[in-house]
Chains A and B, each alone.
Chain A
Amino acid sequence: MIQNHFKPAGPFAAEEVPIIQLRARLKTEIQDGNRLGLLTASATSDGHELLTVIISPLGHSVRIINSLLPHDAVTYSSLTPDIPQAHWFEREIADMWGLRPIGHPRMKSLVMHDSFPDNFFPLAAGASLPTSRMRSRRVPYRFTVVQGNGVYEVPVGPVHAGVIEPGHFRFSCLGEVIENLEIRLGFVHRGVEEHLTQCSWQSARYVVEAASSDTSAGNAVAHAFAMESLCGVTVSESVRRLRAACVEIERIACHIGDLAGICADIGFGAGSSAFGVLRAAVLGIAELLTGSRFMTGFLAPFYQRGLPDAAVLTEAASRLTEVGLQLRLTLPLLMDNAGAIERMEGMGIMKPSLAREFGLVGPAARASGIDYDVRKALPTPEYECIEWPIAIWNEGDVLARARVRAHELATSVRLAEALLTGIAVVKQPSCITRLPANATGIGIVEAWRGELIHLVQTDETGRIARYKIKDPSFNNWTALAVSVRGRLLSDFPLCNKSFSLSYSGTDL
């Protein structure tokens, strides 16, 4: 048992690092085994600052580094050359704030498309809603061109063949072999972060659920932690256990769904059907506990309305046990199936060294030998109700990612059962009527895709002035692009499914 608990409430250690020293500082932090949680910008009274969240898995702690930019500065020296995992963060900052990283190796837009007017930076101070008259055209997006004899391009998307989200994949192929894949996202950029600064904080919990609606529980819990850390309050153990149970149930449903998708992309219809039916049983448990198959509109910061009663909790736990039994019988259809293993093995390899460099999270990281799991790195008491292992494989291929999920399924079923048995119905009225001024809060959750971070800041009147969501997919898209290099074009759907990334969570 870990004695040193991470305390999600209360102020985080914050420190000021001059912008010129930030790059060297982050380099040391990462060499020391710490993680770059997120990098973003924020407005200050006198311009902008860069905010860096550093997570220390060994020290079980989180720190925020503020780096003030000089007044009126619209550029800064890029961090990416030394810290490759900052590459998308810097592109996002440029799109949303108009702060350009000088020396970024591949600077282009990430979330703002050509259909938005030029020089419109949604979060920058004084940004106004563009009218159709003030439109000036942006410099069109340019894909990286692979040159050589016989190289041709295959454009895919934004509207894909399956029932999935929109994004554009540009393959440069030589024969059937993928030489380069460039992923262009931003098609579902809905301005979620700006929305969160415009709505009341009481309705923010519904907006964060729509940020990536298949991770409703994960986003709701990260939001709750962020708001509670902002106000320095904690909720009762029962509420924390209920939240953790919801996150685990979401993980079970989604991991089963991903395995069903992997079966479908192998062409193994029987497996896909079997997992699909099992997933429905898990959604039924979510419905029983929260009134919604996707657990929307249920979990809230500060208090919990309508804690399920004892009979419901017992029923949910016994249905989970049944799901666990069914899983033990269903998983071998895929995981012990020689034909399926043959298809998955050695496919879409993400090397551990690259995975570390790009800061991968979630099952994809754990399939590439990174023992990072927020539930262990920032441990809270509710996750110590039972002993459980982190699922780690080193191969980094589709098979390893499937195995991590299969292993985590068994763990999550045990965890959710244990969490549900320790919930007592206590009425806890909400004591918060207004948010503190000039405060910062962070919520970090191991959602089913991996590390999910919410960062919230209030202004001098206690309104939400900045809200940043870092979806786990944000870190992992690069891994998809890297892992398909040298593979056949027809292998791409299976590789893609094995990463199972969120477009809307990345685009926001």
Chain B
Amino acid sequence: MIPSLIKYLQTPVQTNRNLLADLSDDNRGLPILTDSPCHHTEGCTLCAEECVASAIVLQQDREPHVTLDLGACIACGRCTDVCPTGTITVSRSTRRAVTRRDDLVLKSGDIVPVPVLASKSPFRNSMVVRYVSTGDNATDMEVGACQNPIFDVGRFGIQFTASPRFADALLIGGPVPLAMQQPLRLCLDAMAEPKVVIAVGTQAITGGLLRGRYARANGVTTVVEPDVWIPGNPPHPWLIIHGLLLAMGNPLVITP
């Protein structure tokens, strides 16, 4: 016990000072589309064939091009492995949350969209968050990790509350299957205005691989339209914090 206490007292501050740092090089990250010319014009369909989540769509209208929906992407890394031209490649940026659903649909030739700051967020300096889990417990763990000493979400004026009555923001993880739709609605109704709604993780955005069958696990939009979308399967704590800061309108999210 004594050596443990000594070790504990000698441990320096663990909190990560490098805010919204890129993911480690070991991480597969999330894909991005670059402006490197895509071979789809010459009939290459490798990425779409590899994609198990149907996130990659070959668009035939006008000029053939590829779109990648981060809201459906499960971050398996198969597309970035096969892309011969480097059009789809890995990004380890943690600044991937967006305020418009369309911004999650990446198009070849695009660069990573700069998030649009909500112009008048009422929660500029502090935001109280209620988390509702609907069936993706890895995302639950990453939301929990935001509160550990390393990420320390409290330093941004964000705290988690036990009741929707006290909450400014509703953070929703998981694919919202049928039996969770009514409880989620009740939770939303219990919150005072103004409020923001944040979808966290691929399953919350579209249901991910679990969408489209009888349990109707099709994501948050079956109940409410979120104001902020955080992609990732599960999203890294920095990605989650980026989404929370985006909802607050904190300028940290745009200064690189």
Contact = CB atoms under 8 A, between A and B. Distances in A.
B136 A297 contact: no
From DSSP, what is the main secondary structure of chain A's interface residues? loop
Nearest to B141: A214
B255 interface: no
Given A115-B181, A164-B133, A507-B135, A194 B27 contact: no
Q: How many interface residues does chain A have, given as a range? A: 35 or more
B144 A163 contact: yes
Contacts of A164: 133, 140
Contacts of B209: 195, 199, 203, 206-207, 210
Nearest to B161: A161
Given A163-B140, A336-B1, A190 B217 contact: yes
Given A115-B179, A212-B137, A296-B233, A163 B131 contact: yes
Interface stretch (A6-14, A70-78, A270-278, A428-436): A270-278
A290 B8 CA distance: 31
Contacts of A503: 135, 137
Contacts of B203: 210
> B137, B139, B175: which has the most chain A beta carbons within 10 Å?
B137
The 9 residue pairs across chains A and B that have the minimum distance between CB atoms: A188-B135, A161-B162, A213-B138, A297-B76, A276-B148, A191-B215, A291-B28, A113-B179, A203-B52
B27 A291 contact: yes
26 contacts: A113-B179, A116-B214, A122-B215, A159-B184, A188-B134, A188-B135, A190-B135, A190-B177, A190-B210, A191-B210, A194-B213, A206-B209, A213-B234, A273-B14, A274-B11, A276-B149, A280-B145, A280-B150, A288-B26, A291-B27, A291-B28, A297-B74, A332-B1, A504-B136, A504-B137, A504-B174
B213 A195 contact: yes
B214 A194 contact: yes
Interface of B: 1, 3-5, 7-8, 11, 14, 24, 26-28, 52-53, 74-78, 131-145, 147-150, 160, 162-164, 174-175, 177-184, 187, 203, 208-210, 213-215, 217, 233-234, 236
Nearest to B129: A163
B76 A330 contact: no
Contacts of B236: 293
A323 interface: no
B178 A113 contact: yes
Nearest to A336: B1
Contacts of B26: 284, 287-288, 291
Interface of A: 113, 115-116, 120, 122, 127, 129-130, 158-159, 161-166, 186-192, 194-195, 198-199, 202-203, 206-207, 210, 212-214, 216, 257, 270, 273-274, 276-277, 279-280, 284, 287-288, 291-294, 296-297, 329-333, 336-337, 502-504, 507
A159 B132 CA distance: 6
Given A213-B136, A504-B136, A292 B75 contact: yes
A116 B137 contact: no
A277 B14 CA distance: 8
B197 to A, nearest CB: 15
Given A212-B137, A504-B136, A188 B179 contact: yes
Nearest to A288: B26
Contacts of B5: 333
Nearest to A207: B209
Nearest to A275: B148
B138 A214 contact: yes
Given A129-B213, A273-B149, 20 more contacts: A159-B184, A159-B187, A165-B140, A166-B133, A187-B180, A187-B183, A191-B214, A195-B209, A199-B209, A212-B137, A213-B137, A213-B234, A276-B149, A279-B148, A291-B28, A292-B28, A297-B74, A297-B75, A330-B8, A333-B4
B138 A216 contact: yes
A216 B178 CA distance: 24
Contacts of A276: 145, 148-150
A336 B208 CA distance: 44
A270 B7 CA distance: 12
Given A187-B183, A213-B234, A332 B4 contact: yes
A129 B75 contact: no
Given A158-B180, A297-B28, A210 B136 contact: yes
Nearest to B178: A115
A420 to B, nearest CB: 15
A321 to B, nearest CB: 17
Contact of A287 (B4, B27, B76, B178): B27
B218 to A, nearest CB: 10
Contacts of A329: 3-4, 7
A312 B30 CA distance: 22
Contacts of B74: 206, 296-297
Contacts of A129: 213-214
Contacts of B175: 190
Contact of B138 (A188, A203, A294): A294
B148 A273 contact: yes
A329 B10 CA distance: 12
B24 A333 contact: no
Contact of B215 (A189, A198, A274, A292): A189
A329 B136 CA distance: 33
A191 B212 CA distance: 10
Contacts of B8: 270, 274, 330, 333
A165 B76 contact: no
Nearest to A212: B137
B183 A159 contact: yes
B150 A277 contact: yes
Contacts of B214: 116, 120, 122, 127, 129-130, 191, 194
B206 to A, nearest CB: 12
A206 B52 contact: yes
A186 B177 CA distance: 10
Nearest to A260: B148
Contacts of A120: 214
A11 B217 CA distance: 35
A161 B163 contact: yes
Contact of B141 (A198, A257, A333): A257
B178 to A, nearest CB: 5
B137 A186 contact: no
Nearest to A285: B26
Kindly name the residue among A129, A189, A213 whose own CB sees the greatest number of chain B CB atoms within 10 A: A213
A163 B160 contact: yes
Given A163-B133, A166-B180, A214-B137, A207 B4 contact: no
A439 to B, nearest CB: 23
Nearest to B175: A190
